[in-house]
Amino acid sequence: MQTKDIILRNTTIKMVLVLVSFSILLDYLNVSRTGIFISSAIALIFISKLLGHATEELAKHTGMTRGALINLTLGNLTELIILYFALKEGLIDVVKAALTGSIIANLLFILGISIFFGGIKYESLKFNIENASMNSTMLTLAIITLAIPTAFSFQAMDAAGLKIDVEQISLVSAVILFAIYLCSILFSAYTHKHLFLERYQKEIPVWSIQTSLFIVLGAAVAGAYMSELLIISLMPFAQTFNLTDTFMGVIFLGLIGNVPEQGAAISAAMKNKVDISLGISAGSSSQIALFVAPILLFLSVPLGTPMTLVFSTMELVAIFASVLIYDVIATDGKFVWFEGVVFLSIYLLFGYVFLLIR
């Protein structure tokens, strides 16, 4: 099928074109920033879905190993684009809140809702303990490394030159996180790829490699423009509804790029393939901590808005609690629907807490 035919027939592409055009029109007419925020946010959800599908199609052309590498590298491209523009606007606290939100949304909300719906259909959902343990190890390493700059800032609160020291230790932590990420790619795509066979099964591509590349690039460009509109409209939207920067980052930005993953994770759980749901939720959380956070810190330096990895106490508590709950529950090799309720309840509690923080 030719690229032109795919564009004309694909519903997601049509939705992207309509929503992007509508958002551009609203911005051109300079109407309500609230409308622009909502329109661009919905557009980004469909762009994320399209980008994910095009990435998968591209991966099918390259074989399982390279396909896994492509999925690992481009899996969180939407979040990276959105947060880059937030960083460009100097919204560093929003960026860190969004990183927190994305991690807890993946571990608590996406996994929780997948376990709940899958557990309703099946008495129990069995999964590969070795795979889950690997995800748990990576998450624990990532969270400890993320927490060290914050702990250091508390320890040296009154010391001279604190800001420089915190920036330095954040940079070192980012380098270590990125190194762990590269090792995780080596592990999952090469040395121990047999553990991830279910996630990276060989499939016949529907789109040509040229079509896949064209749509990936097109979706990335559209995502960049919509991200810029979203971030410009973020503060006016928050002020209209009396919402804090932290809440906007944790809940809104934390969820926007994850909506397509939510659908994929639920679908897998409903087919009793909870290993895929675990791979999506825990894997995406690991990528946020190991790849997106370091890349954003590296990018912040030339942008003139140096970012540190110092998080608020509540953000750290939320991240640690999410990883701890995942570690505790994902040890017996099976899930039941009630565990999904536990995940979702804790996510709702954190959402309410972040709503109250001023």
The whole-number mean pLDDT for each consecutive block of 10 residues of the chain, a chain of 358 residues, reads 63 90 91 90 89 78 60 75 91 94 92 90 84 83 88 68 77 92 80 60 73 87 91 90 90 82 80 82 88 94 89 93 87 86 94 89
- Spell out a b/e string for 11-35, using b for 16 or more CB atoms within 10 Å of the CB, else e: ebbebbbebbebbbebbeeeeebeb
* Predicted local confidence at residue 160, as pLDDT: 54
First vs last Cα of the chain: how many Å apart? 53
pLDDT at 65: 54
pTM of the model: 0.88
In the chain, the number of structural domains is 1
In the chain, the amino acid numbered 357 is I
What is the pLDDT, as a whole number, of residue 3? Answer: 58
Predicted pLDDT at 107: 92
Using CA of residue 337, residue 339, residue 342, residue 348, what is the dihedral sign? negative
Using the structure block, give the residue that is written with the tokens 């923080």: 357
For residue 5, give the amino acid letter: D
Range of the domain at 80: 3-356
pLDDT for the residue 198: 52
Distance, C-alpha 189 to centroid of its chain: 20
Phi, psi of 15 (to 5 degrees): -65, -40
Beta strand 334-335 pairing with 125-126: antiparallel
Tokens, residue 202? 């060989």
Q: Tokens 């090792």 sit at which residue?
A: 183
pLDDT value at position 151?
86
CATH number, domain at 299? 1.20.1420.30
Report residue 335: phi and psi, to 5°. -120, 150
CA distance 174 to 297: 7
Q: How far apart are CA 98 and CA 227, in angstroms?
A: 14
pLDDT score recorded for residue 69:
59
**33 vs 159: CA distance, rounded Å:** 43
Amino acid at 124: S
pLDDT (0 to 100) of residue 277: 83
Residue with tokens 């998450």: 139
